[in-house]
Amino acid sequence: MLRLSKLFVRTLRDDPSDAEVPSHRLLVRAGYIRRAAPGGYTWLPLGWRVLRKVEDIVRQEMDAMGAQEVHFPALLPRDVYEATGRWTEYGDNLFRLKDRKGADFLLGPTHEEMFTLLVKDMYSSYKDLPVSLYQIQTKYRDEARPRAGLLRGREFLMKDSYSFDIDDDALAVSYAQHRDAYERIFARLQLPYVIVKAMSGAMGGSMSEEFLAPIEVGEDTFVRCSACDYSANTEAVTTSSPAADSNTYDASSTIATPNCPTIATLVDLLNANHPRTDRSWEAHDTLKNVVLRLRQPDGSTETLVIGVPGDREVDMKRIEAQLSPAEVEPLDEEGFAQHRTLIRGYIGPQVLGTTSTSGIRYLVDPSVVHGSAWVTGANTKDTHVIHLVHGRDFTADGTIEAVEVAAGDPCPNCSAPLEIARGIEIGHVFQLGRKYADKLGLTVLDHNGKQVVVTMGSYGIGVSRAVASIAEVFHDDIGLKWPRAIAPADVHVVVTGKNGDDITIAGEKIAVELEAQGLDVLIDDRNGVSPGVKFKDAELIGIPTILVVGKSLAEGNVELRDRHTGTNEAIPVADAVTRVVALARSGQ
């Protein structure tokens, strides 16, 4: 039995000053976690119970699908990650250190390499496959901006698993099994989710989907089609490429555009001084050229210009996802100073491209189709050019999905309008393919006695992040409201009496009986704490069933409170144990 008189917990009336999101605020206030380091949290007894319940559900479902649990060190030698290039590619996100002999180590951010080598070490034949292995282990990432408590930490608990198959068809089966297991896990955690198409990022590989919990404080943005089943992380949205424009346009011409600091003022000037005959000029007729600096993990940099229609915003996260592992930032003053060709506010593609005199790589959003005409900078101050046609007057080095996806944009699948929302990434399933097996030499003998490279999948669930995500979904202004499967106890018995009085004796008796029925019982047996404070703490801590043993005992009643529905019900004290046990066993 957990006794609040002894339990190592202190509830706080005030929000911690560094808490940005409800889960962080409430988990700290209710005494589940405490900040211990930047991006590092200590689990207090209540929080640890919740984390372990989540971990157990994950473990049970992984075991049930036939995956086998192993456990790797977190402190890993450099050479393995060097072999796949990730020692460098991970950039600043990797914690690196040296041992006393000066040898290089890292703290594992994920364990693709280690799993690949382990299977290579142990297995050698197609008969050994398929095999799926997993671990539930502490991971380390040197996040630039740890934030939102457990949602983005530098040390966190993760379930990572890896499948090993002889061919692509078998990988598809392993992938589907993991995906199904994840659906069962999140259902048991009562964590709502959307499965969206995802970018593969630095991992390489092909098919990749994320499980996103649709929560406003999430860092990911995703789209869902209102008509078909399309859904994707905005990073992974590939817009349908419109057909090439076959119109014939006037020859391009340079025009004077003084005092046009914005696209709106440029459009006004065009309509005033150079009116179109068919319609007025609009922002979407202009071509905006954004100058970026790419920084590769090895430290090398490159200037890159991306062209997008002037009416659209640029989405740095989408761009970065496609250019990963490079980091992307707007070119700074110093950078511009090194490129005399680039006249800020008047940049046009006439001088861009790897084959141009500037040699600067130039990419365009797919909406800048071949044959389309644009108003854009003339690379001279106070001057633009009109009727500049893609393919006739300028070329690009390629395309990149660059504009911010907006609600109402056409679905790439069926063209119906897209909906847009934010979410927290709670799971990721991923057909890695042969990248790691190739680099680390994981082959097996196939049916014909020939060495073939094994194909892999990788699958992750953020276990500590799941706790925070559940808290984001299940809370209100006054506290947490845990789903029963992961609540730190089945019932919170609030005893409002004083040491030795009838109320206390009755409360203790009920608590003992509930425990004898196999329930996890938290009892508020603190002496000298007012009923009001006890009620507030019960609401804050958020165990789904609260049983109040108090003044109404005089009439033979206790009070059954449901933290989810907010209902209070007076029930005869004789029924208390039966009712609470029934609730706990109902799983609701």
In whole angstroms, give the CA distance from residue 52 to residue 507. Answer: 28
The kind and range of the H/E element at 77 are strand 75-77
Q: How far is the CB of 315 from a copy of itself (least distance, A)?
A: 25
Does 7 sit near a copy of itself (CB under 8 A)? yes
Q: How far apart are CA 56 and CA 588, in angstroms?
A: 19
Q: How far apart are CA 341 and CA 480, in angstroms?
A: 58
Interacting span for a copy of itself (CB under 8 A) from 135-143, 334-342, 383-391, 443-451:
135-143
Pick one of 64, 68, 381, 391: the residue that binds a copy of itself (CB under 8 A).
68
Kindly state whether residue 74 participates in binding a copy of itself, applying the rule CB under 8 A.
Answer: yes
Q: How far is CA 569 from CA 509, 543, 558, 581, in A?
A: 20, 16, 8, 16
Nearest to 136 by CA among 488, 462, 470: 462
- Asked if 62 is part of the footprint of a copy of itself (rule: CB under 8 A), the reply reads no
Q: Does 445 bind a copy of itself (CB under 8 A)?
A: no
Distance CA 433, CA 198 (A): 15
Q: Return the H-helix or E-strand segment holding 585.
A: helix 576-586
Tell me: does residue 432 bind a copy of itself (CB under 8 A).
no
Q: Give the range of 8-16, 203-211, 473-481, 545-553 binding a copy of itself by CB under 8 A.
A: 8-16
Nearer to a copy of itself, 318 or 465 (CB): 465
Question: Is 329 near a copy of itself (CB under 8 A)?
Answer: no
The H or E element spanning position 253 is strand 253-256
Q: How far is the CB of 104 from a copy of itself (least distance, A)?
A: 11
CB of residue 439 vs a copy of itself: minimum separation in angstroms?
18
CA dihedral 424, 155, 119, 186 (to 10 degrees): -30
Q: What is the SS3 assignment for 209?
A: strand
Applying CB under 8 A, which of residues 1, 72, 239, 322 lies at the interface with a copy of itself?
A: 72
What Rg, from alpha-carbon coordinates, does the chain have? 30
Minimum distance between the CB of residue 529 and a copy of itself, rounded to whole angstroms?
12
| Among residues 14, 17, 71, 300, the one that binds a copy of itself under rule CB under 8 A | 71
Kindly state the smallest distance separating residue 148's Cβ from a copy of itself, in Å.
17
Shortest distance (Å) from residue 446 CB to a copy of itself: 18
H/E element, 580: helix 576-586
Complex with a copy of itself: residue 6 or 381, whichever CB lies closer: 6
Binding-residue pattern over the window 93 to 132 for a copy of itself, x denoting contact by CB under 8 A:
x-xxx-xx--x-x-x------x---x--xxx-------x-
The bridge status of strand 545-549 relative to strand 491-495 is: parallel
Q: Which is nearer to a copy of itself, 99 or 575 (CB)?
A: 99
Name the burial class of residue 14, with classes exposed (0-12), middle (13-18) and buried (19+) by CB atoms within 10 angstroms of its CB.
Answer: exposed
Helix (H) or strand (E) holding 522: strand 521-524
In the complex, least distance from residue 422 CB atom to a copy of itself, rounded to whole angstroms? 26
Q: Under the rule (CB under 8 A), what is the footprint of a copy of itself?
A: 6-10, 34, 36-38, 40-45, 48, 51, 66, 68-77, 92-93, 95-97, 99-100, 103, 105, 107, 114, 118, 121-123, 131, 133, 138, 140, 142, 144, 154-155
